[in-house]
Amino acid sequence: MAASGAGAFSSDEALAFLTELAEETPERRAATLERLFQSVKDRPEEVGHDILPDQVVAASVIVAATALGGDQFDERLQALAMDDPAVDARLPPLAGDLAGAALKALDSVTDRWIQERAEDADTVEAIQTIAALSQVLAYVSVMEDLDAIWNDACDYGADGEAPEGTPVGIQHLASLLRIHGSVMGGGLAFAVEVNEPFRVKRAVEALHYFGLAAAAELLEDTLGRSLKGQDSESWPTDDGFNGLIDGDVLDSAFQAKAREVPADFGRE
């Protein structure tokens, strides 16, 4: 096998790394990979010396193989394991929380990894290997960020206020999720009853912010009827509101806005 081929596992160093990792239990491998990625961040001057780019690339592939869209990497690892069980260093499913760290470490070693293959005829293929790997890790990393943002917004919505300095997009999401949770738990009438008018108004603003104008107008109409003392039987129906924001609608609107203006969500 070539010492520095275009594939992620086409070097002696990469295979040696797989063999060492395979000796650990599957549950401990993630911690080992995390330490490797952290070492790249903490000691960049050692990349190419004590920290080998081939090891980092191989480690990144192991993470990508567990992620959505990483089938090609999983298949490669499976093929290697079938040929030699001693290099079966696969992770348990759902190791995606390593994707962000893997991507940053990969970025730090990519130039050196490709330069080491500059004299090979497969340099273009090596670049393609890194591009495909980066694409998978970047997608998973973004989804990790969005999940963390969503969870924080849920907590802030439950608390009633976001901490000072919280990015505007997360504030809007928290306001919306508070009312949305109330509606899901007891319906529109319940949501208006248990939330002060200013909180409902914040949710209306948030719906407009996320581009859900129809839901915003319906919620605003409901609040207006409530403030006028109109009987709840005259209010818009729960089904009408739920139909506008149920399913993946709210999540999709959030993801679209976070990609459009990442700074509003504390993302670069």
> Would you state the structure tokens that stand for residue 167, as one six-digit string?
């990015």
pLDDT of residue 144: 75
Cβ contact 164:186 at 8 Å: no
Q: Which residues 6+ apart lie within 8 Å of 228 measured at CB?
A: none
pLDDT of residue 16: 93
Rounded-to-integer distance, Cα 236 and Cα 244, Å: 12
pLDDT of residue 268: 65
pLDDT of residue 96: 53
pLDDT of residue 2: 41
pLDDT of residue 94: 54
pLDDT tens-digit series, residues 1-48: 344 577 888 888 999 999 999 999 988 999 999 999 999 999 999 988
Local structure of residue 90 (DSSP, 8 states):
P
Mean pLDDT in consecutive groups of 10 residues from the start of the chain, 268 residues: 67 92 91 94 90 94 88 92 92 73 93 81 82 89 84 93 94 95 88 93 96 93 91 80 80 91 86
What's the whole-model pTM score? 0.66
pLDDT of residue 74: 92
Local structure of residue 236 (DSSP, 8 states):
P
Q: For the chain, give me the number of helices (H) and strands (E)?
A: 12, 0
